[in-house]
Structure 1
Amino acid sequence: MYDQLHAFATRLSRYAAWLGGAMMLFAALMVSADVLARRLFGLTMGGSDEISGYLFAIATSLAFPYALLTRSNVRIDAAYALLHPHVRAALDLLAIICMALFSALVTWRAVLAVGETWNSGARAITPPCKPL
């Protein structure tokens, strides 16, 4: 049962990582097209830098589960491999708990910010003119 769940989560996270990669490619193409259009024709799409920032944030968050499930954090692998399996399991659990707490905190603050800007009807002054 656990193996099937892990395989499903890994497969789902791989698709999410591919989607994030496609978003990054789209953002790079959009910014490149904007730069070329500005340089060659004096035209700008307006907001491509802002949109690419959002795409980067979304793509990054889509890649985190894949990195977690495949243990792709190469910076700690050298020390991690030397630890006893029980210590590794405890550190993995601690990392997941910390990530869950951090995610809950960020989500809570984001919901508060969205509620505040929704109630005030605030809008950004950037070209997309999206609600704050």
Structure 2
Amino acid sequence: MNLEEKILQVMGGMHVGAVATIAGNKPAVRFMALRGYDDMSLVAGTMKSTRKVGELKAHPDAAISIWSGVEFSDPYVGISATAEVHEDRETKERYWNPVFEEYFGSIDNPDFILLVFVAKTIEYYTPPVMEPEIWNR
């Protein structure tokens, strides 16, 4: 299995990940529901009124961690990404997920937006080996 395939086993599909942004001059971390795609991007729905959106508009760099399992020996990834804030209907339709209905009502909710995290670097870890394999865009 090549590195991209191993990474996608961890980050592909729906996951909860820890997403770090810059708030002023300090890091801010929160868990987010993310969907990973084969192009090494992650997409999350959110409300444009949230603090994280303002933080990402001011500083689009983000760090994301996703762990794939239950055991400490299960692989995980650390992702350095650039965030894009999308409010356009076309992007919302492309990435709409029925799970979003519970949180945002509908695609027409004026506060609903998408965050697309485009990975620049992904570190793939398989504990107990702490030296990652590194993927770069």
Shared fold (TM-score greater than 0.5)? no
Larger Rg: 1
The TM-score normalised by the length of structure 2 is 0.21
Which of the pair is proportionally richer in strand?
2
